[in-house]
Chain A
Amino acid sequence: MSVGDAGAEVTRIAAESTNGAPAPSNHVGRSLRRKEDPRLITGRASYVDDINLVGQVWAAWVRSPEAHAKIVSIDTSAAKAREGVIAVYTNEDLDMEAGLPMAWVPPGVEVNTPDHWVLAKDEVKHVGDPVALVIGDDRYAVVDAAEDVVVEYDPLPVITDPEKALEEGSPLVHEKFGTNKVCDWSLGGGDLEAGFAEADVIIERRIVNHRMAGGAIEPRGVLAEYRGDRLTVWSSTQVPHFLRLFLAILLGVSEDRVRVIAPEVGGGFGSKLNIYAEEIGCAWAARKLGRPIKWIETRSEGLMVTHHGRDQIDYVKVGAKRDGTLTAWHSKIIADVGAYQLLLTPLIPPLSAFVMCGVYNTPAVVTDVTSVHTNKFPTDAIRGAGRPEATHMIEVVMDQLASELGMDPLELRRKNFIPPFAEGHETPIGVVYDSGNYEAALDKLLEHIDPAQVRAEAEALREQGIYRGIGFSTYTEICGNAPSRAVGPAAFGLQGGGWESATVRVHGTGAVTLYTGTSPHGQGHETGFAQIVADKLGIDPQQVQVIHGDTDTGPFGLDTYGSRSLAVGGEAAARAADKVAAKAKAIVAHQLEAAPEDIELRDGKFSVRGSPDKGLTLAEVAGAAYTTMEMPDGMEPGLDEQSFYDPENFVFPFGAHACVVDVDAETGKVKVVRWVAVDDCGPAINPMLIDGQVHGGIVHGIGQALYERIHYDDAGQLVTGTFVDYALATAAELPSFETDRTETPSPVNSLAVKGVGEAGTIAATPAITNAVIDALRPLGVNFINMPLTPMRVWEAIQEAKGGVPA
C-alpha cells in the first residue's frame, strides 16, 4: 500500500507527468522501474513494527519446550506479579468456541482434523506450541514475564518419522483419531496396470523432499486495536481479506466492524498465507483489555512457529518402452503435515497430484497421497506448494530413467513432450492445460547453453578433482487460482472461491486509483498493474496509484498466493479498466457526435477513428463525468468501475532450466557455476519484474537443494532453529542468473498471461539434483536425495567407491 510520503510522491509525479507530452500507450511489455522501490530503499515504508498506537501494550508467548506432553499445571502468579505485566492468559481464559481454521473439506474424503486452539488445551503437540499469552506495557518485560510462567509437563511419546507414524503401535499425536493418518487422497487417470504391463523398463525411486521454511525478510507481526465497536488489525500477512473473515467468525464481531490492514509486507513466500494463533490471540486480548496490543515475531519464533513446507517422502514408479516412450507413472506421497492443520495444510500435498503429468504425454498417471500427523509444526503452502515436490519427482526420475535406458536426458524429454497446443490439452487426470510449447522453451534454452561444451569442460576439470555436471528441468505448473468451480466446495473441496476483484476509480482530475483484492508483499503489483490500467486509459503508469492490503478500501478480494495475482487480479484490473474505457468512449462519442464504437484511444486521447487531432484526454472525460457537463442522456455520473473476475481455467506456465555445478569430489561441496532459465508465463507485462521473480524463485530452489533444511531430532526438538543452522543461500553462494523467455499466450484471460512467482522454485531443485548426479556419475553415484550437503555428497561418493562412509 502506498501510504504517507510515498503516496504524496506518487501524486506529485502524476501531476508532473500530466503536464508533459501525451503518454505513450504501450507501457505493457516494458521494464519500468518499480514504483514501490523509492519508499522501500529509502526506509520510508511502514511495516507493522513501524506503526505504534497510543496506549499500545505488548504480547509475548509462553511456548512449549516439549514436543509432546500433558500440561499438568500452569503457574502464572510470578509472571502476573512482575512490574509492567497486565495480564497472563491460558487456554482456560479463552472464550472462543472454535480454534484456528482449516479450509479444506474434500467431497467423499474423510480428513482427521484436530482442534487447534489459540493456546494449547491439556496437551502440547510440538515444540513451540503456545501455552500462555503474556500482555504487558513493555516489550522487554513481557518476554521476561513469559520466562516466569511455570508450566509442569508430563512428557508423552514423541513421533517425528512419518512412515513410522503410520505403523501399528506408533505413538499417537492425537489419541482421539486412533491413527496418525490425516487422510488418503488420490487423483489419477488412464490404465496404470496396462501401462506397466506394456513397459520394457520399470524403475522405482524413493525421493525425500525435506521440510523447509519461507524465510521472509520481515518476520510476522500483529497490531490489534479494539476501539468503540470496531476491531482493526495490522498484520504482516498475505491474506488480509481471509484474516478479516476469520477474525469476524472467531471473535463474533460483525465483518463490517473488522478492518485488516496488511501494510508494507516484507515477503511471505506462502508463510504468511495463514490465520495464525498470534493474530487471533492478540485481537482477542485487545478486545478483552481495551488496549492496542502489538506482537512482533522473533527470528527464533519464525523458524519454530511460522508454517513450514514440503516434507514429503515420495515413492515413484515409472514404466517406459525401450525407445523411451512413457507408459505409466505412479507416485505414492507420504506427507508429514506436522501436529495440527493450519488453513490449507492437508490440501497442499494433493496439489502435487495436479501437475504429476508434467510436460509429458504419459497415458496413465496416478498419485496417491497419504498425509500424516507428527510432533512438528504444521506444514502449509511454501513457494510452489506441492508443485515443486511434483516437479522434483518427475524431473529427477526422468533423468534416472534416461540413465537406465542409456538415453540422453533431453532426448527422453523430447520423446515424451506433449506437442505444442494453443487452446487446451486434456491430461489423463482430467486437468486441462491452457497452452504450451515445451519444445520451444527447450530449444531456446539450448541457444544459451551447449551441453556438449559443458561435458567437454567437465572432462578437463576432472583431472583437477573437480567434477562438473549439467542438469535440466523441463516443467509446467498450475497457477492462477481460481477457477471457483474447480477449487470450490463441490469440486476440490476448498471452502471458498478463487475469483478476484478490482475497482478502477478515475478521479475528477484524471488521476486514477486502482483497488485490487490481491495483497502483494514485494512482487511489484503497484508497477505491473499500473502498466495494465495505464494502457487501457491512455495515461502514464505513474498516474495510477494501486491500493491494496486494506479491507476498508475496495471490494472484498482473495489476496495473494499461488502465483495468482496477475492472471486473476491483473485480469480483474484490466476488465474494470475496460469498463471505464467503455464509459469514457460513450461520453466522448456524445461530445464529438460520433458512435461509441468509432471512438479509439490514441496517443493518450479518446478520439474518432481517423480524426486523431480532435479528442479528449482521460482527465477531460473525468471532468465531464464528475461535473455532469455534456454527458449522454441518462448516463450515471462518475467514472468508477468494478470487476469480479472468475476465470474459466487455471493457467499453466512452463519452461526449461539448466544448471551447471562443480563438485569438489574430495569434500563433497557443490558449487553452482551457471544457471540458465527460460520461462514462459505468456506475454510479459514487465520483463524486469519477471526476472526478479525468476531470480528469487531459483534461489529458493537452490536454497532447498543445498542449504536450507528444517530438521527435528527424534525427541521432536528443532535442530535448525536459527539462521546459523537454517542456512539461507546468500549472494556469495549464487551465480549470476541467465534468463530468457518464450511467450505462449494463455487463452484463459484477455491479457494472455500466466503466473511466475513460483516457477523458478518449481523448476530449480531437480535441475540442480540432476546436475550433481551428472557430475558424480563417473564416480559411480547414480542417485542422491536432497539436501545436497557436502557431507551427504561425500558419503554418496564413498558408498559408490564400495566403502562404507567413514
Chain B
Amino acid sequence: MIPAEFDYTAPETLDDALKALADGGEDAKLLAGGHSLLPLMKLRLAAPSLLVDLRKVPGLHGIQRENGNWRIGALTPHAALEHTPDLGVVSLAAGTIADPQVRNRGTIGGSLAHGDPASDLPAVMMICEASITLQGAGGQQRSVSANEFFQDYLETAVEPNEVLTEVRIPAYDGWGFGYEKFNRRSEDWAMVGVSALVRKDGDTIADVRVGLTNMGSVPLRAKAVEDALRGQSATADSIARAAEQAAEGTSPPADLNASADYKRHLARVMTRRALETAAGLG
C-alpha cells in the first residue's frame, strides 16, 4: 500500500498541465479523481515518475445541455452523472459504480482515459455514440468517437501529450434505456454489464444499441443483437431471440469466479433483461 517515489504537480491552466506532461516524459501521468491510478500505484503495479494533477485546471467540470447535446467536463465526478437523471443510461450506469465515496471522487474523464473494459462508462459511451474531446499541446483539439476510442486493454486513443477535456453525448430524448450490471457485491466491478438504448416507433423497435462491459479486452457493441432486433416488434420473444446473439464473437477474460462460458451466458441474460427494460417491457 506504499507507492514508489513520484513527483507531483498541480498546474493551474490546461496549457501548463500539457507542458508539465510533455516535460515529464513517458512516465508522467495525468491525475483526475485517482480512483483507478492510485490503487495501481499503491499495489506498485504502476509507478509513474510524475503525477500532473488536473484539479486546479478550470473549465473541466460540469454538465451542460446545448442544442440537443450534453457536454460533460472531464473532471465531472460519477456522482454528478448519477444525480442528473436526464442523462438517461449514463446516469443509470454511473449510479452503479463502486460505492458513494468512489462516485464522489472518480471522474468520467479519468474512467474513459483509463480504458478499463470492466468499468461501467466506456461501453455506455459507445452506445451513446459519444464524442470525446482531446486537447494537445499548442491548443489543438480533436474529437474521437467513443466507438473508436478504446483500442486495447487499458489502451485508448489519448496520445501521451493529450488531455481528455470533454465528452459530448447526443441527448436520447424519447429513447428507452436499461443497464444490467452483474456482480457479486454491489461495490464490485461488473462481472458482465450490458447497457441498452431502444427507440420505438409504435410497437416496432426502430433503433437499438447494446453495449457490453467486461466481455473482452475493450468495451464492445453487441452489433449482432442490434442488427437482429432493429425493425422487429418490441416483444419479449423477439428480444429474447436477439439476445441469444449477445456473446457472439466475444472472448471474455476468465477469472476465479467467472469462466468465459459463464460470462457469455451472463451476457445473453443481461442483454435480454436490459433490452426488456429499455423497450418498456421490464
Q: Which of A116-124, A253-261, A610-618, A725-733 contacts B (4 or more CB under 8 A)?
A: A725-733
Q: In the complex, are the beta carbons of A730 and B258 less than 8 A apart?
A: no
One digit per residue, 1 when the CB lies within 8 angstroms of any chain A CB and 0 when it does not, for chain B 10-29 equals 00000000000000000000
* B-chain residues with CB within 8 Å of residue A298 when the two chains form the complex: 1-2
Known A-B contacts A667-B266, A719-B256, A732-B187; A140 and B5 likewise in contact (beta carbons under 8 Å): yes
> Which A residues, 773 to 806, have Cβ-Cβ distances below 8 Å to chain B?
789-791, 794-795, 805-806
A139 CA / B2 CA spacing, docked (Å):
9
Q: Kindly provide the distance from the CB of B91 to the nearest chain A CB, expressed in whole angstroms.
A: 19
Residue of A nearest to B268 (CB): A666
Q: In the complex, are the beta carbons of A732 and B256 less than 8 A apart?
A: no
A618 CA / B191 CA spacing, docked (Å):
64
> Which A residues, 335 to 357, have Cβ-Cβ distances below 8 Å to chain B?
none
> Which B residues, 155 to 189, have Cβ-Cβ distances below 8 Å to chain A?
182, 184-189
Cβ-based interface call for B206 (8 A)? no
> Which A residues, 129 to 151, have Cβ-Cβ distances below 8 Å to chain B?
139-140, 143-144, 147
A299 CA / B43 CA spacing, docked (Å):
10
Q: In the complex, are the beta carbons of A806 and B261 less than 8 A apart?
A: yes
Cβ-based interface call for B257 (8 A)? yes
| In-complex Cβ contact of B188 among A143, A719, A724, A805 (8 A) | A724
Known A-B contacts A299-B1, A722-B43, A789-B257; A707 and B182 likewise in contact (beta carbons under 8 Å): no
One digit per residue, 1 when the CB lies within 8 angstroms of any chain A CB and 0 when it does not, for chain B 251-282 equals 00000111101101110010000000000000
A147 CA / B258 CA spacing, docked (Å):
33
* A-chain residues with CB within 8 Å of residue B5 when the two chains form the complex: 140, 144
A144 CA / B44 CA spacing, docked (Å):
10
* B-chain residues with CB within 8 Å of residue A332 when the two chains form the complex: none
Q: In the complex, are the beta carbons of A806 and B188 less than 8 A apart?
A: no
Cβ-based interface call for A669 (8 A)? yes
| In-complex Cβ contact of A143 among B2, B182, B266 (8 A) | B2
Q: In the complex, are the beta carbons of B257 and A791 less than 8 A apart?
A: yes
Cβ-based interface call for B46 (8 A)? no
* A-chain residues with CB within 8 Å of residue B44 when the two chains form the complex: 147
Which of under 10, 10 to 19, 20 to 34, or 35 or more describes the interface residues of A? 20 to 34
One digit per residue, 1 when the CB lies within 8 angstroms of any chain B CB and 0 when it does not, for chain A 348-374 equals 000000000000000000000000000
* A-chain residues with CB within 8 Å of residue B191 when the two chains form the complex: 790
| In-complex Cβ contact of B256 among A711, A722, A729 (8 A) | A711
Q: In the complex, are the beta carbons of A669 and B265 less than 8 A apart?
A: no
Cβ-based interface call for B154 (8 A)? no
> Which A residues, 730 to 766, have Cβ-Cβ distances below 8 Å to chain B?
730, 732-733
Q: In the complex, are the beta carbons of A727 and B185 less than 8 A apart?
A: yes
Q: In the complex, are the beta carbons of B43 and A300 less than 8 A apart?
A: yes
Known A-B contacts A143-B2, A300-B1, A720-B256; A730 and B187 likewise in contact (beta carbons under 8 Å): yes
A667 CA / B257 CA spacing, docked (Å):
13
A790 CA / B257 CA spacing, docked (Å):
8
Residue of A nearest to B44 (CB): A147
Interface class of chain B by DSSP: loop
* A-chain residues with CB within 8 Å of residue B261 when the two chains form the complex: 805-806
Q: In the complex, are the beta carbons of A707 and B265 less than 8 A apart?
A: no
* B-chain residues with CB within 8 Å of residue A729 when the two chains form the complex: 185
A147 CA / B4 CA spacing, docked (Å):
10
Q: In the complex, are the beta carbons of B185 and A725 less than 8 A apart?
A: no
A711 CA / B255 CA spacing, docked (Å):
12
A669 CA / B43 CA spacing, docked (Å):
30
Known A-B contacts A144-B4, A144-B5, A300-B1; A707 and B262 likewise in contact (beta carbons under 8 Å): no
Residue of B nearest to A719 (CB): B256
A127 CA / B256 CA spacing, docked (Å):
19
A730 CA / B186 CA spacing, docked (Å):
8
* B-chain residues with CB within 8 Å of residue A727 when the two chains form the complex: 184-185, 188
* B-chain residues with CB within 8 Å of residue A719 when the two chains form the complex: 256
A730 CA / B2 CA spacing, docked (Å):
25
* A-chain residues with CB within 8 Å of residue B182 when the two chains form the complex: 667, 669, 790
A106 CA / B261 CA spacing, docked (Å):
49
A730 CA / B189 CA spacing, docked (Å):
14
A794 CA / B262 CA spacing, docked (Å):
8
* B-chain residues with CB within 8 Å of residue A795 when the two chains form the complex: 262
* A-chain residues with CB within 8 Å of residue B187 when the two chains form the complex: 730, 732
One digit per residue, 1 when the CB lies within 8 angstroms of any chain B CB and 0 when it does not, for chain A 703-725 equals 00011010100000001101011
* A-chain residues with CB within 8 Å of residue B43 when the two chains form the complex: 300, 722
A474 CA / B79 CA spacing, docked (Å):
45
Q: In the complex, are the beta carbons of A667 and B269 less than 8 A apart?
A: yes
Residue of A nearest to B258 (CB): A791
Known A-B contacts A300-B43, A791-B257, A791-B262; A707 and B185 likewise in contact (beta carbons under 8 Å): yes
One digit per residue, 1 when the CB lies within 8 angstroms of any chain B CB and 0 when it does not, for chain A 395-419 equals 0000000000000000000000000
* B-chain residues with CB within 8 Å of residue A789 when the two chains form the complex: 184, 257
Q: In the complex, are the beta carbons of A791 and B269 less than 8 A apart?
A: no
Residue of B nearest to A664 (CB): B269
A789 CA / B188 CA spacing, docked (Å):
14
Residue of B nearest to A790 (CB): B184
A769 CA / B40 CA spacing, docked (Å):
36
Which of A706, A707, A790 has the most chain B CB within a 10 Å cutoff? A790
* B-chain residues with CB within 8 Å of residue A144 when the two chains form the complex: 4-5
* A-chain residues with CB within 8 Å of residue B189 when the two chains form the complex: 724
A733 CA / B183 CA spacing, docked (Å):
11
Q: Kindly provide the distance from the CB of A470 to the nearest chain B CB, expressed in whole angstroms.
A: 23
| In-complex Cβ contact of A732 among B4, B185, B257, B269 (8 A) | B185
A669 CA / B262 CA spacing, docked (Å):
12
| In-complex Cβ contact of A725 among B1, B4, B256 (8 A) | B256
Residue of B nearest to A721 (CB): B43
Which of B185, B189, B264 has the most chain A CB within a 10 Å cutoff? B185
* A-chain residues with CB within 8 Å of residue B266 when the two chains form the complex: 667
One digit per residue, 1 when the CB lies within 8 angstroms of any chain B CB and 0 when it does not, for chain A 318-333 equals 0000000000000000
A139 CA / B1 CA spacing, docked (Å):
11
Residue of B nearest to A60 (CB): B2
A722 CA / B45 CA spacing, docked (Å):
13
A791 CA / B182 CA spacing, docked (Å):
12
Residue of B nearest to A146 (CB): B2
* B-chain residues with CB within 8 Å of residue A720 when the two chains form the complex: 256
Q: Kindly provide the distance from the CB of B206 to the nearest chain A CB, expressed in whole angstroms.
A: 28
Q: Kindly provide the distance from the CB of B246 to the nearest chain A CB, expressed in whole angstroms.
A: 13
* B-chain residues with CB within 8 Å of residue A790 when the two chains form the complex: 182, 184, 191, 257-258
Q: In the complex, are the beta carbons of B4 and A806 less than 8 A apart?
A: no
* B-chain residues with CB within 8 Å of residue A725 when the two chains form the complex: 256
A259 CA / B169 CA spacing, docked (Å):
64
A789 CA / B184 CA spacing, docked (Å):
8
Q: In the complex, are the beta carbons of B185 and A733 less than 8 A apart?
A: yes
One digit per residue, 1 when the CB lies within 8 angstroms of any chain A CB and 0 when it does not, for chain B 41-66 equals 00110000000000000000000000
One digit per residue, 1 when the CB lies within 8 angstroms of any chain B CB and 0 when it does not, for chain A 17-55 equals 000000000000000000000000000000000000000
A143 CA / B44 CA spacing, docked (Å):
11
Q: Kindly provide the distance from the CB of A302 to the nearest chain B CB, expressed in whole angstroms.
A: 10
A707 CA / B256 CA spacing, docked (Å):
12
Q: Kindly provide the distance from the CB of B228 to the nearest chain A CB, expressed in whole angstroms.
A: 20
| In-complex Cβ contact of B269 among A147, A300, A666, A706 (8 A) | A666
A-B contact pairs, 6 of them (CB 8 A): A299-B1, A709-B256, A720-B256, A733-B185, A806-B261, A806-B265
When A and B form their complex, which 10 residue pairs have the shortest distance between CB atoms, in order from nearest?
A732-B186, A298-B1, A143-B2, A806-B261, A791-B262, A666-B269, A789-B257, A733-B185, A719-B256, A791-B258
Given A147-B44, A791-B259, 10 new contacts (CB under 8 A): A709-B256, A724-B189, A725-B256, A727-B185, A732-B187, A789-B184, A790-B191, A790-B258, A806-B261, A806-B265
